[in-house]
Homo-oligomer: A and B are copies of this chain.
Amino acid sequence: MLNGQGQRHFVKFVWTPELGVHSLVWDEALKLGGQDPDFHRKDLYEAIEAGSYPKWKFGIQVIPEGREHEFDFDILDSTKIWPEDLVPTQYIGEFVLNRNVDEFFTETEQVAFCTSHVVPGVGFSDDPLLQGRNFSYFDTQITRLGINWEELPINRPVCPVMNFNRDGAMKHRIHKGKVNYWPNRFSAAPPATVSEGGYPDYMQKVTGIKARLNGPKFKEHFNQARLFYNSLSPIEQIHVQRAFAFELDHCDEPIVYERMCQRLYDINPALAATVSEMVGGPLEPPESPKPQAAPTKPTLLKAKALSQLEFPAANPTIVTRKVAVLLADGFDATAVKHLKTAITAAGAIPMIIAPRRNNIIPTGGSSAGGITADHHLEGARSTMFDAILIPPGPQSIATLRSHGRAIHWIREAFGHLKAIGALGSDAVRFLGEALGGDVIGKLQIGTTDGKVVSSYGIVTKSVYSGDEEQEWWQKWKIARDEVSFVSAFFYEISLHRNWQRDLDGLPNLVAF
């Protein structure tokens, strides 16, 4: 980027989501891939339709041209990050997705991005990936869409443009007049000068040898891999180990998984040994080739802003979260009504899951007072929800207990580290049976004294009476150490996953 004085800076763009950084756990991703391959797309679409516009802070990392060589990595190697400890992010704007397209094909399938299209003030560094893209993106759009892709409604500039390509397949714009080049005999339409807002080319000094080579910093592959692994939280390091173990498990050729494990020894011996044991790799660093030492002592051993856990939402929130409310005929109508009210008021979406969709009748209710479930137990899965809530109702709980699939909803959500709430003695007991004795022995659940207990993301209250309303569904607050059921449950949802549950090995005790 050029500033107003024409000074050049290397710049990276940084987008930080307002609601924090979240992701699927691996088993969930594997399942959603089959259950709903459009899961993420649908999530984005529905949030925008509902007015919960996804928002990102927009930041830049800036290195003045003169400081280009001060780092122990090549800043133009796009496989390298610029650690924020060295190059802080400055937030300068925001990015909001506030409208869905009217028609998918025309406005989404035909979108064409092009790295070579820039505005005055933005130029091209020598990043080889960028240079390659400058050619290939344009070529790609021509191949995908045709030479007049820039005329498509979704791609065309919103301001008037003075210089056009003419002709080519599927040309829509009709040019009048004879002048389409400069200079021309009418001296018409000269290109804008820099002072008029025209594009400034940077007169770059070049000196060196032109050859098909990468510099030594480009070839240093391990420092940043070590920096990245070191900078992760413990649970993320475990996930990295499992990810390698999963993927290499599918590889049958020893030369491939052994080489991969050797590369891991180059980065971190503990990581490498763990993965090797799972996939059949060498349990010790190989004698030959020996793990590669860093050629020079790296500036940083650990950096901030690389772990997801450093990006929570600014304030705890459950906005856009989906809560599955498990029930059957004989549920407690008042409790369910109030729980739904609270969830909705918090910006989250309660969805009723029952053995069937058709007219579920509450305790003492009649057919006319029933509710239609959003899904039956087979029609959706826990993977599609952020939390599970089991409301009171003895008959309702008894019915759920007879459905293996209902039990699996609870186990699976537990395995995926999600918040689970149970209200009333039947619901709490059912929850305990569903998770099994090994698990229950390790966590605390609501006892008969009516206290709300929150343990490993499981929020329970054994005693339920109707007159507690005020406390629960109108005065909730999303914060740590809140004592009401709703507040405590919402706080656990706001954390999205209970990582400690995974760190302490609880999911392994549950079949899911």
Question: Quick check: is A127 within 8 A (CB to CB) of the other chain?
Answer: no
| Contact residue among B152, B207, B376, B405 (Cβ-Cβ distance under 8 Å from A172) | B152
Whole-angstrom distance from the CB of A472 to the nearest CB of chain B?
A: 29
| Contact residue among B105, B203, B357, B509 (Cβ-Cβ distance under 8 Å from A210) | B203
Interface bracket on A = 35 or more
Give the segment of A73-81, A226-234, A277-285, A424-432 that binds chain B. A277-285
B209 touches A205 (CB 8 A): yes
Question: Quick check: is A380 within 8 A (CB to CB) of the other chain?
Answer: yes
| Contact residue among B142, B173, B242, B380 (Cβ-Cβ distance under 8 Å from A378) | B242
Which residues A272-313 have CB closer than 8 A to chain B? 276-281, 283
Which residues A148-171 have CB closer than 8 A to chain B? 148-149, 151-153, 166-171
Copies of this subunit: 4
Given contacts A249-B379, A408-B511, contact A173 B209 (CB under 8 A): no
Q: Within 8 Å CB of A389, what residues of B?
A: none
Question: Quick check: is A215 within 8 A (CB to CB) of the other chain?
Answer: no
B201 touches A211 (CB 8 A): yes
A279 touches B358 (CB 8 A): yes
Q: Within 8 Å CB of A378, what residues of B?
A: 242, 245-246, 249
Question: Quick check: is A188 within 8 A (CB to CB) of the other chain?
Answer: no
Interface string of A169-204 (1 = CB under 8 A from B): 111111110000000010000000000000001011
Whole-angstrom distance from the CB of A507 to the nearest CB of chain B?
A: 7
A106 touches B171 (CB 8 A): yes
Whole-angstrom distance from the CB of A436 to the nearest CB of chain B?
A: 9
B102 touches A358 (CB 8 A): no
Interface string of A371-409 (1 = CB under 8 A from B): 011011011100000000000000000000011110110
B209 touches A249 (CB 8 A): no
The 6 closest A-B pairs by CB, nearest first: A33-B34, A249-B379, A34-B34, A407-B511, A408-B511, A170-B170
Q: List 12 A-B contacts (CB under 8 A).
A: A31-B34, A105-B171, A106-B173, A106-B175, A153-B172, A205-B208, A206-B208, A245-B378, A278-B379, A280-B372, A411-B511, A511-B511
A contact set with B: CB distance below 8 Å: 29-35, 37, 102-103, 105-107, 109-110, 135, 139, 142-143, 145-146, 148-149, 151-153, 166-176, 185, 201, 203-212, 242, 245-246, 249-250, 253, 255-256, 259, 276-281, 283, 356-359, 372-373, 375-376, 378-380, 402-405, 407-408, 411, 415, 434, 507-512
